[in-house]
Amino acid sequence: MKFRQNNIHKQINDLKKFHSDKINQLLEQYTREYQYREQKDTVNQNCHQFNTLTNQQYINNQIKSISTEKSLNNISYREEIDIPGSPRLNEPEFSTNETKSEPEKEQNKFEHLNKINIQKKKKIEESIIEQKKRQVKCMSFNLLNGQRHKDPSYNWENREKAVIQVIRTHDPDILGTQEAYHWQLDYIRWNLPQYLQYGASRNGYYNEQADEFCAVLYKKDKFKVVQGETFFLSETPELVSKSWGSVFNRIATAVKFEILASGKQFWFFSTQLDFSSDEAVRCNQTQVLLERMQKLNAEGLPVVLSGDFHSPSFGPAHQKLTQEGHLRDAASKAREVGKMTESSVRGSDMQARKNRLYEGLFGKKTHQDWIFTDKDTEVLTFAVCTDKYDGVYPALHYPIVSDLEFK
């Protein structure tokens, strides 16, 4: 009986084992089939996605999915991606920003600031270049005519080198001259070939050798002459003439310039009023000058007026130009003023009575040689050039120079 029971239990256990193995086999089979179907669906889906996307889009999507699933943890890794229908491609290497040391941070900061400074410097340089295109350095210079003088130091051959040296030293872009003979101007242009000349004599001739000019010299590589004329400070400005008891024919040379670098245009005038003791003569000549300036400059361009006015800064001619003409004396408007303790006429250094009288009456702090500008022109600098060269003054008058900027 006992044997029979044991046999039955054994059969039951064998049966359970058999069914258990069978069930496990079935489960494994079903699992493999399920995984196969799932994998097939995934492959089909990937194939469909690959067909509808470009290679680069598919790669980007794969990279994105991997990067979100993988935990980087500051570790660089390389992953291979299977693209159905294409060879295996290597995924780009991913790495996080590693913590940089303090020296590296300082180096990066220095490089960044240096880059900013370079950019700022470039902008400043470009701004300066643009500003320079609007700037003009002007000189007014009574050269004293080339006749023989009682004082030999005034003779041209004794001061011609000093004249060249003072012009070369201050290097004006435009030079308004007074009293020079044509051959004196030829000498200047021969020694300073960067300048060209414009203007006629007091007798109306452009090549006359024995009469005075109010010629304008200008740098040929910086300016182009657009328009110009020499007119007379008289009741008939277009004719060779004088009026109101003027001792000599008095003229003004007007030139409309264009700055080659910028295309900016402006008018430049060089003149000399009469030295008559009657101030009314100079007032009338000033009135003609203003009327002619207004007629020529109908466009309202910037204006520069230079010359020897034979009148102090508090005289009627100066007041007419600054009040009625709305011009500004560059000497009083300059941001940087040069040697203004000197008169523009050499006073005690010479023997010409008119100049001793001029400085004796009006004092050293005034001047009769002026540079005027319109209200829209900025005066950057102004100076009276009192230089000697080998102990020699260039002329009876000190030249005056001013840096201007047109807006």
pLDDT classification of 343: cutoffs 50, 70, 90: very low
Looking at the whole model, is its pTM more than 0.85?
no
Distance of alpha carbon 101 from the chain centroid: 43
- Secondary structure of residue 337 in the 3-state scheme: strand
* pLDDT at res. 109: 73
* pLDDT at res. 276: 79
- Report the chain's mean pLDDT, rounded to a whole number: 79
pLDDT classification of 121: cutoffs 50, 70, 90: confident
The answer on pLDDT for 305 being more than 80 is yes
Determine the Cα–Cα distance for residues 162 and 166; give it in Å rounded to an integer.
6
Here the tokens at position 394 are 């260039």
The answer on pLDDT for 359 being more than 70 is no
What phi-psi label fits residue 167: left (phi over 0), alpha (psi between -120 and 50 degrees) or beta? alpha
The answer on pLDDT for 28 being more than 80 is no
The answer on pLDDT for 391 being more than 70 is yes
Here the tokens at position 66 are 């991997």
Sign of the dihedral defined by the CA atoms of residues 6, 8, 13, 17, in that order: positive
- Per domain, the residue ranges of the chain are 2-90, 135-406
Segment 278-289 mean pLDDT = 95
Angle (CA) 376-377-382 rounded to 5° is 145
When comparing pLDDT for 228 and 79, which is higher?
228
Amino acid at 142: N
When comparing pLDDT for 342 and 111, which is higher?
111
Lowest mean pLDDT among 27-36, 121-130, 333-342: 333-342
For residue 184, with 0-12 CB atoms within 10 Å meaning exposed, 13-18 middle and 19 or more buried, which class applies? buried
* pLDDT at res. 65: 53
The answer on pLDDT for 195 being more than 60 is yes
Q: How many other CB atoms are there within 10 angstroms of residue 220's CB atom?
A: 13
Amino acid at 179: E
Q: 246-272 pLDDT, tens per residue?
A: 999 999 999 999 999 999 999 999 999
The answer on pLDDT for 134 being more than 80 is yes
* pLDDT at res. 57: 60
* pLDDT at res. 402: 95
Q: 214-223 pLDDT, tens per residue?
A: 999 999 999 9
Write down how long the chain is.
407
* pLDDT at res. 354: 31
Task: For the chain, state the CA radius of gyration.
Answer: 46
Determine the Cα–Cα distance for residues 77 and 174; give it in Å rounded to an integer.
72
Segment 316-339 mean pLDDT = 83
Lowest mean pLDDT among 20-24, 34-38, 128-132, 240-244: 34-38
When comparing pLDDT for 128 and 394, which is higher?
394
* pLDDT at res. 250: 98
Integer CA distances (angstroms), 108 to 102, 104, 112, 154, in order: 10, 6, 6, 68
Determine the Cα–Cα distance for residues 184 and 180; give it in Å rounded to an integer.
6
Domain 135-406 CATH assignment equals 3.60.10.10:
yes
When comparing pLDDT for 10 and 115, which is higher?
115
β-strand pairing of 135-142 with 174-178? parallel
* pLDDT at res. 204: 93
When comparing pLDDT for 98 and 363, which is higher?
98
